[in-house]
Amino acid sequence: MDSHLEAWDKDYASRGRLWGGAVMDLPLLPEGSVVLELGCGDGKTLSALPVGGKIVALDVSLEALHLARRVRADANLILADASRLPLREEGFDAVFAFHVTGHLLASGRRALAREAARALVPGGRLFFRDFCKQDMRAGQGEEVEPGTFLRGSGILTHYFTKNEVEELFCDLQPASIDTHRWKLRVKGETFVRAEVGAVFLKS
């Protein structure tokens, strides 16, 4: 496994649950929807997804899946790479890719986008969120590819533009692409976090 992927397992093993707070503005899904979450981590988004349909969630980190299991007992959890899905085609009404795509290198991001499109049923929707170039952390660490930074933890993060997101998911129809900013107070200082949020439709 690539070292930037192994870095996640080490991080979860040493720090436990990493992602706190509530997930804002989750979309409403029709009753009985079959849902896939890519890179579910310790289950922050997973815990907030509606109950009622079938939920499959995957991550490259086994430690993350152990943590996710504690918050979402009814999900099918799979140890897998989102750029090589071990799933049949066209099975999902909704695919969530929240803060996972940006942790892959460019070739992996393109593969994830193709796999996400493949996994959706016609009429299904992909929900995407990831940090963008206006984020407070953009530019921190070693730039290993344009706009992609490796930090001390060994974790990679790419910071997107809206155009890049649209181009990345070019197999799908864009329904909305927006930038969302919020303030974060750290040790008395105010910083700005910024993400691109997008919804794509499979025709």
The site for ligand SAM (CB under 6 A) is made up of: 5, 8, 19, 38-41, 44-45, 58-61, 64, 81-83, 98-100, 103-104, 108
Looking at the Cβ atoms of 123 and 186, the one nearer to ligand SAM is 186
Nearest approach, Cβ of 43 to ligand SAM (angstroms)?
Answer: 7
Distance (Å) of CA 4 to CA 14, 37, 153, 164:
16, 20, 9, 22
Nearest approach, Cβ of 91 to ligand SAM (angstroms)?
Answer: 17
Nearest approach, Cβ of 203 to ligand SAM (angstroms)?
Answer: 26
Distance (Å) of CA 136 to CA 31, 172, 188:
38, 30, 15
Looking at the Cβ atoms of 120 and 127, the one nearer to ligand SAM is 127
Looking at the Cβ atoms of 103 and 158, the one nearer to ligand SAM is 103
Looking at the Cβ atoms of 38 and 55, the one nearer to ligand SAM is 38
Nearest approach, Cβ of 16 to ligand SAM (angstroms)?
Answer: 13
Looking at the Cβ atoms of 81 and 164, the one nearer to ligand SAM is 81
**Residue with the closest Cβ to ligand SAM?**
41
How far is the C-alpha of 13 from the C-alpha of 135, rounded, in Å?
Answer: 27
Backbone φ/ψ region at 43: left (φ over 0), alpha (ψ -120 to 50), beta: left
- Report which of 28, 25, 74 is spatially closest to residue 47, judged by C-alpha positions: 74
Evaluated on CA atoms 202, 68, 22, 193, the torsion sign reads negative
Nearest approach, Cβ of 133 to ligand SAM (angstroms)?
Answer: 18
